[in-house]
């Protein structure tokens, strides 16, 4: 059951109309890493979760993301309404696609799609995805903050960016609380699981914790382990 409270989660005000900024802010409304995508991803993950604690967290954060969506949509509406330059306003996608208000599309006018969502039905895999999704939302807010001077809009963007930081930390803690952070149930085959193949070779070959001796066996010059199907086909035809 959902209730709606008419007051916004945090203050949304704009100093003046700015259709250009409204257009790029659409990324957080109907874009791939926007608030609707976040809300729906956690909501659908939560509905399918068999872990009641994870389900609770996913529903809490999903409901907050809808509150962010409301703030972003409200801000877009304020930014496009009352713009004095009618000619410029009509060149913006809102006028002929969006019906004069925010619409579920990205800054290029491409409609929102459920294909943006990552729902695996597996807690560890979903949490990894959610951490990455929150990270993308955070950097999108940071980039948006370079594109406006409006102090009220900047204050709202700072709040929304901050909440994504919190969500990254919530999802990280949830992931670390799992007994097994590796998605799925099977272990990798022992003969391959600890090998690192140096498949891109050249002067800038690099070493780090991802291919460190001890943790991994560094295979400097990998050779194919498989057969040659064309050779076998040729032999069969002779
Ligand atoms: Mn959000
Ligand atoms: Mn978030």
- Whether this prediction's pTM lies above 0.85 is answered by yes
Quick: pLDDT tens for 23-78.
999 999 999 999 999 999 999 999 999 999 999 999 999 999 999 999 999 999 89
Task: Name the closest ligand to CA 34.
Answer: 1
* pLDDT for res 89: 54
* Alpha carbon of 118 to ligand 1 centroid (Å): 16
- Determine what percent of the chain is predicted with pLDDT higher than 90: 85
> 17 Cβ partners below 8 Å, 6+ apart?
78, 79, 80, 81, 82, 83, 84
Task: Tell me the CA–centroid distance for residue 139 and ligand 2, in Å.
Answer: 12
pLDDT band, residue 212 (cuts 50/70/90): very high
Which candidate, 75, 60, 77, places its Cα nearest to that of 170?
Answer: 60
Looking at the CA of 71, which ligand is closest? 1
What's residue 1's pLDDT?
92
Distance of alpha carbon 69 from alpha carbon 39, whole angstroms: 8
Q: What integer best gives the mean pLDDT of the chain? A: 93
In this model, does residue 88 exceed pLDDT 70? no
What are φ and ψ of residue 195, in 5° steps? -90, 140
Distance (Å) from CA 174 to ligand 1 centroid: 18
Mean pLDDT over residues 179-203, rounded? Answer: 95
For residues 20 and 186, what is the distance between their CA atoms, to the nearest angstrom? 50
The share of the chain scoring above pLDDT 70, in percent, equals: 92
pLDDT computed for residue 197 by the predictor? 97
pLDDT at 152: 97
CA of 95 to the centre of ligand 2 (A): 29
Q: Report how far ligand 1's centroid is from the alpha carbon of 10 (Å).
A: 12
Q: How far is the CA of 73 from the centre of ligand 1 (A)?
A: 12
Report the pLDDT value the prediction gives residue 20, as an integer from 0 to 100.
Answer: 87
Q: What whole-number distance in Å separates Cα of residue 92 and Cα of residue 20?
A: 8
Environment of ion ligand 1 (residues, CB < 5 A): 35, 65, 68
Measure 62 CA to ligand 1 centroid, in angstroms: 9
- Within 10 Å of residue 78's Cβ, how many Cβ atoms? 20
In angstroms, what is the span from residue 182 Cα to ligand 1's centroid? 26
């Amino acid at each position: 059951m959902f209730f709606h409270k008419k007051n916004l989660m945090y203050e949304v005000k704009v100093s003046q109309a700015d259709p250009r900024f409204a257009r790029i802010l659409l990324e957080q409304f109907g874009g791939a890493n926007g608030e609707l995508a976040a809300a729906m991803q956690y909501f659908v993950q939560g509905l399918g979760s068999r872990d009641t604690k994870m389900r609770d967290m996913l529903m809490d954060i999903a409901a907050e993301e809808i509150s962010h969506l409301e703030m972003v949509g409200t801000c877009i509406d304020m930014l496009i309404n009352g713009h004095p330059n009618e000619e410029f306003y009509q060149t913006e996608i809102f006028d002929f696609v969006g019906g004069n208000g925010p619409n579920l599309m990205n800054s290029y006018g491409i409609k929102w799609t459920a294909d943006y969502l990552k729902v695996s039905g597996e807690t560890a895999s979903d949490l990894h995805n959610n951490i990455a999704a929150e990270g993308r939302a955070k950097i999108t807010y940071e980039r948006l903050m370079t594109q406006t001077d409006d102090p009220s809009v900047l204050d709202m963007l700072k709040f929304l960016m901050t909440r994504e930081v919190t969500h990254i930390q919530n999802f990280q803690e949830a992931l670390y609380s799992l007994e097994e952070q590796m998605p799925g149930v099977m272990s990798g085959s022992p003969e391959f699981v600890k090998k690192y193949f140096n498949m891109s070779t050249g002067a800038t070959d690099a070493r780090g914790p991802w291919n460190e001796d001890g943790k991994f066996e560094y295979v400097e010059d990998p050779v194919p382990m498989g057969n040659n199907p064309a050779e076998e086909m040729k032999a069969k035809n002779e």
